[in-house]
Amino acid sequence: TGGEDVITLGNSADLAPCVCMMDELEKHQEAWPFLFPVDCRRFPTYKKIIKKPMDFQTMRHKLRDNKYQSREEFANDLRLVCNNCETFNEDESAVGHAGHTIREFFEKRWRELCIN
Ligand SMILES: Cc1ncccc1N[C@@H](C)c1cnc2ccsc2c1
């Protein structure tokens, strides 16, 4: 008969928290090392050391193109950005420090966006 028998399922595939997080990550003061793919002409060893490069522009394009099946897939790409950063950069370097800051920002804000 229509609407009255339709149940609304909590859709964990609702990617709204991802879009909100992407906006906040791109604006973050420490986002600069991660905004675009690492340029292999500037860092010739990067592609050899880092098997799965990831960056915020690529994540934004995957969101736009509906490439994420779940929030967790999105979260794991952000963690990949940070893990790659830790692999390639010293903790004390500007880029290394930015990676730790972005990871801490993400994990705290992600809980707020996905739980409450
Ligand atoms: C995240 C990351 N990991 C490893 C290497 C580079 C980068 N970021 C690029 C943007 C980057 C980071 N720093 C500099 C400094 C001069 S050009 C440039 C480009």
Give the pLDDT score at 115: 81
CA distance 30 to 47: 23
Are the C-beta atoms of residues 109 and 35 closer than 8 Å to each other? no
Q: Which burial class, exposed, middle or buried, applies to 97 when counting CB atoms under 10 A from its CB (0-12, 13-18, 19+)?
A: middle
Ligand 1 atom with least separation from CA of 43: 5
Ligand 1 site residues (CB inside 6 A) read 33-34, 38, 42-43, 85, 88-89, 95
Ligand 1 atom with least separation from CA of 84: 3
Q: For the chain, how long is the longest CA-to-CA vector?
A: 64
Counting every residue, how long is the chain?
116
Segments in the chain below pLDDT 50: 1
> Which pTM value belongs to this model?
0.90
ipTM: 0.95
What spacing in Å lies between the alpha carbon of 31 and ligand 1's midpoint?
11
* Tally of helices (H runs) and strands (E runs) in the chain: 5, 0
- In three-state form (DSSP H/G/I as H, E/B as E, the rest C), the secondary structure along 62-105 is HHHCCCCCCHHHHHHHHHHHHHHHHHHCCCCCHHHHHHHHHHHH
